[in-house]
Amino acid sequence: MLDDNVSLPTWLYVLLWAAAVYAVVVSVLYPSVRWFVRRRLNRAVERLNTSLSIKIKPFQQTKRQELIDRLVFDPQVLALIDSQARETNVPREALLLDVKRYAREIVPSFNAYVYYQLGYWFAKKISRFLYRIRVSAVDQTVLETLDKNSTVVFVMNHRSNMDYILICYLAAEQVTLSYAVGEWARVFPLESIIRAMGAFFVRRGSQNPLYRKVLGRYVQLATDSGVCQAVFLEGGLSRDGNVAQPKIGFLDYMLRHYDHRKHRNITFIPVGINYDRVIEDKNLMHWDDKSRRFTKWQTFSRVLRFLRVNIFSDSRSRWQRYGYAGVNFGIPIDMRKYCEKHRLLFADLPQRDRIPAVTALAEHLMQAVRYVIPVLPVPVIATVFTRQNHQGMRSLDIVAGCDDIIDDMIAAGAAIRDEQKPRQKTIAAALENLRHRHILLEENDVYRVNPEFEKLIHYYANSIIHWR
């Protein structure tokens, strides 16, 4: 009987082999590969920390599931679950499932390899392909003497979705940044890449108290752990070119339990961003009229057309078409000194007093951002034309008008020095940029604003309107 053959159906034989292979992979290969990859990543982080001004924090290397569990079982979150369960008669288990979903949605999965090998490479190539980049600092020595143990927060104006890519590229040699990204980016495979780069997703405008509590606790944990962050206080892209009034939600999450006497210091660095050409400018002009916005297919077609025209062009041709992208870093604002100066202890302030204090800080930060917004050729040319009341101008008169405006801005304290003033050749290239896009019409060296794009001229002029 023991020598008898046992026959199995083919499907069962294949199924048993598949189960055996799965068992070997899960119990032997997968743990080994995961250990090997994590070991390589830890070594990569150690090497990076020797060159970064602000180190990668242990919080960023913590396993994602551990951070999710920390949020789900946070005492403040559990207290709110109990309170809502009593008030709404919703089972506690159902609310706990919602919290787990929110935590998984918010918490990133930072990967140093993806950040520097993929993200940095992509950001560098795209930024330098589209723009000629100008970077400056109001006081470089102050930036070099930052408290490396403080939580550094870059506070920026929001001109374009290129802002994310541009700052990632420019700051990568000094810090790793964590962004708050809107739900628009939660598409495959972009979502996984963004998470791996340390960004976290937020539902902008959500009024769900449970969601806001989970988000707030994550921001507080990251801030307390020293994670370097980047914040657009305006909350969204500028629709008219002006720097919008700040939204205080993110700042309030950071500061509502902040005690400058015993907590880690927070250093805010104002960052001003400006462009000779904002990629989304025409869409932003028609934002309130959905029928005039570009569809996804139209946007994709424009990208393909741009690549077809420029992929084989030299760098000078691309510069003439897209112009400059400027980034200025301002004077850091130290929260310990700020709190001592204004006699503030945010952790002890009731909400009715804390919100005005956070609002005042937000306005102070936005004013510092306005101060360092770069003065670039296209915004200056646009400013010249907004003063002409639809009259035509010769190219030499435009250059002279640009010189006068920049001199006035320098005298008023704008973040531009005499040696940084655009040359006549640069102004001519910017004029050609605007003519090529039909924003300006030219005949016999006389330039006029195309009535169809008058709103766009004001959009670019508004980026530096606070200096007029």
Q: Which tokens sit at 363?
A: 């306005």
Given a cut of 80, whether residue 269 has pLDDT beyond it is: yes
| Domains contained in the chain, number | 3
Q: Which tokens sit at 335?
A: 């929260």
Alpha-carbon distance of 368 to 371, in angstroms, equals 5
Task: Confirm whether 17 is domain-assigned.
Answer: no
421-443 pLDDT, tens digit each: 888 888 998 999 899 889 999 99
Whichever domain contains 395, its CATH number is: 1.10.10
Q: Which tokens sit at 26?
A: 């899960």
Q: For position 75, what pLDDT does the model report?
A: 94
One-letter amino acid for residue 16 of the chain: L
Query: Is residue 193 located within the same domain as residue 239?
Result: yes
Residues, the chain? 468
- HEC assignment per residue over 130-177: HCEEEEEECCHHHHHCCCCCCEEEEEECCCCCHHHHHHHHHHCCCCCC
Query: Is residue 312 located within the same domain as residue 446?
Result: no
Q: For position 369, what pLDDT does the model report?
A: 95
Return the CA Rg of the chain.
27
Query: Is residue 243 located within the same domain as residue 298?
Result: no
Query: Is residue 213 located within the same domain as residue 229?
Result: yes
Cα 330-334-338 angle, rounded to 5 deg: 115
Given a cut of 90, whether residue 221 has pLDDT beyond it is: yes
Domain end: 312, 342, 373, which one?
A: 373
Element (H, E) at 394: strand 393-394
Q: For position 203, what pLDDT does the model report?
A: 85
Mean pLDDT of 407-413: 87
Query: Which has the closest alpha carbon to 156: 240, 258, 274, 254?
Result: 274
298-314 pLDDT, tens digit each: 555 655 565 555 555 55
Q: For position 77, what pLDDT does the model report?
A: 94
Given a cut of 60, whether residue 320 has pLDDT beyond it is: no
Alpha-carbon distance of 100 to 70, in angstroms, equals 10
Position 325 confidence tier, pLDDT thresholds 50, 70, 90: very high
Q: Which tokens sit at 254?
A: 């950071």
Position 192 confidence tier, pLDDT thresholds 50, 70, 90: confident
Query: Is residue 442 located within the same domain as residue 386?
Result: yes
Query: Is residue 242 located within the same domain as residue 93?
Result: yes
Task: Confirm whether 18 is domain-assigned.
Answer: no
Alpha-carbon distance of 465 to 459, in angstroms, equals 10
Q: Name which residue leads in pLDDT, 130 or 7.
A: 130
Q: Which tokens sit at 364?
A: 């102070």
168-183 pLDDT, tens digit each: 888 877 778 888 887 7
Q: For position 28, what pLDDT does the model report?
A: 66
Query: Is residue 206 located within the same domain as residue 305?
Result: no
Q: Which tokens sit at 249?
A: 């939600």
Q: Name which residue leads in pLDDT, 287 or 348.
A: 348
13-29 pLDDT, tens digit each: 788 888 878 777 767 66
Task: Confirm whether 273 is domain-assigned.
Answer: yes
- Could you list the residue range(s) of the whole structural domain that residue 289 is in? 280-322
345-372 pLDDT, tens digit each: 999 999 999 999 999 999 999 999 999 9
Query: Is residue 347 located within the same domain as residue 411?
Result: no
Lowest mean pLDDT among 1-15, 106-120, 294-308: 294-308
Sign of CA dihedral 204, 199, 331, 430: negative
Alpha-carbon distance of 14 to 88, in angstroms, equals 52
State the residue for tokens 């020095």: 417
Q: Which tokens sit at 144?
A: 């070099």
Task: Confirm whether 21 is domain-assigned.
Answer: no
25-41 pLDDT, tens digit each: 767 665 665 555 566 65
Task: Confirm whether 4 is domain-assigned.
Answer: no
Class of residue 187 by CB neighbours under 10 A (exposed 0-12, middle 13-18, buried 19+)? exposed
Q: For position 462, what pLDDT does the model report?
A: 94
Whether the predicted model's global pTM rises above the 0.75 cut? yes
Q: For position 442, what pLDDT does the model report?
A: 92
Q: For position 417, what pLDDT does the model report?
A: 79
Mean pLDDT of the chain: 84
- Asked if residue 380 lies in contact with residue 467, where contact means CB atoms within 8 angstroms, the answer is no
Task: Confirm whether 49 is domain-assigned.
Answer: yes
Q: For position 104, what pLDDT does the model report?
A: 93
Percentage of the chain beyond pLDDT 90 is: 45
The CB-based long-range contact list for 358-362 (8 Å cut-off, 24+ gap) reads 358/248, 358/251, 358/252, 358/255, 359/246, 359/248, 361/251, 361/255, 362/233, 362/246, 362/247, 362/248, 362/251
Q: For position 255, what pLDDT does the model report?
A: 94
Given a cut of 70, whether residue 295 has pLDDT beyond it is: no
Q: Which tokens sit at 278?
A: 């904002």
Query: Is residue 116 located within the same domain as residue 235?
Result: yes
Mean pLDDT of 145-164: 88
Alpha-carbon distance of 152 to 156, in angstroms, equals 13
Query: Is residue 358 located within the same domain as residue 239?
Result: yes
Query: Is residue 175 located within the same domain as residue 272?
Result: yes
Lowest mean pLDDT among 111-120, 201-210, 247-256: 111-120
Position 42 confidence tier, pLDDT thresholds 50, 70, 90: low
Whichever domain contains 147, its CATH number is: 3.40.1130
Task: Confirm whether 19 is domain-assigned.
Answer: no
The three-class DSSP label of residue 5 is coil
Lowest mean pLDDT among 121-135, 266-280, 313-327, 397-411: 313-327
Task: Confirm whether 429 is domain-assigned.
Answer: yes
Query: Which has the closest alpha carbon to 467: 404, 398, 389?
Result: 404
Query: Is residue 290 located within the same domain as residue 169?
Result: no
